[in-house]
Amino acid sequence: MPDSSKDLEEQQLDLPPYARALGIAITELEDGVPVLSVEFGQSVEGRPQHYHGGATAGLLENAGYAALRARLIADGREARLKPVNITVQYLSAGKACPSFAKGRITRLGRRNANITVEAWQDDRDRPIATAIMNILMA
């Protein structure tokens, strides 16, 4: 196996400052795709004992970027990522427990990527939020 993908610890360091400040970490790699998580705490709390929608969006967005970065590394590509848009669907309230998110690359071109992201808590089959992101690569 060629050494084309970074291990979990190395990818952890690639999380942007905002993700690290919010407490987001990579918990595992599933077929090379990072699963991100964040513990419930003051930095993500909206109304009492629930996630703020913005914090959930932050987790989704970072999971989308992490999925794309992992794929680009695996493909031996280097690119600067430029966000174009994100649409977040909120499906149920984020309760006071850890949240997880994983992105799936639905389309990867030379210049653009379309990514679908899901966030869940204790039951992976019941996502609390989903997002669709378009990212340009330069």
| 49 touches another protein (CB under 8 A) | yes
| 12 touches another protein (CB under 8 A) | no
Of 28, 75, 84, 104, which lies in the binding site for another protein, with binding defined by CB under 8 A? 84
**Tokens 């993500």 belong to residue:** 44
82 or 111: CB nearest another protein: 82
Nearest of 34, 43, 40 to residue 13 by alpha carbon: 34
Tell me the C-alpha distance between 115 and 77, whole Å: 17
For the CB of residue 6, give the shortest distance to another protein in the complex, in Å.
Answer: 16
| 26 touches another protein (CB under 8 A) | no
Buried b (16+ CB within 10 A) or exposed e, 45-78: eeeeebbeeebbbbbbbbbbbbbbbbbbbeeeee
| 138 touches another protein (CB under 8 A) | no
Q: Which residues bind another protein (CB under 8 A)?
A: 16-22, 42-55, 57-58, 61-62, 82-90, 93
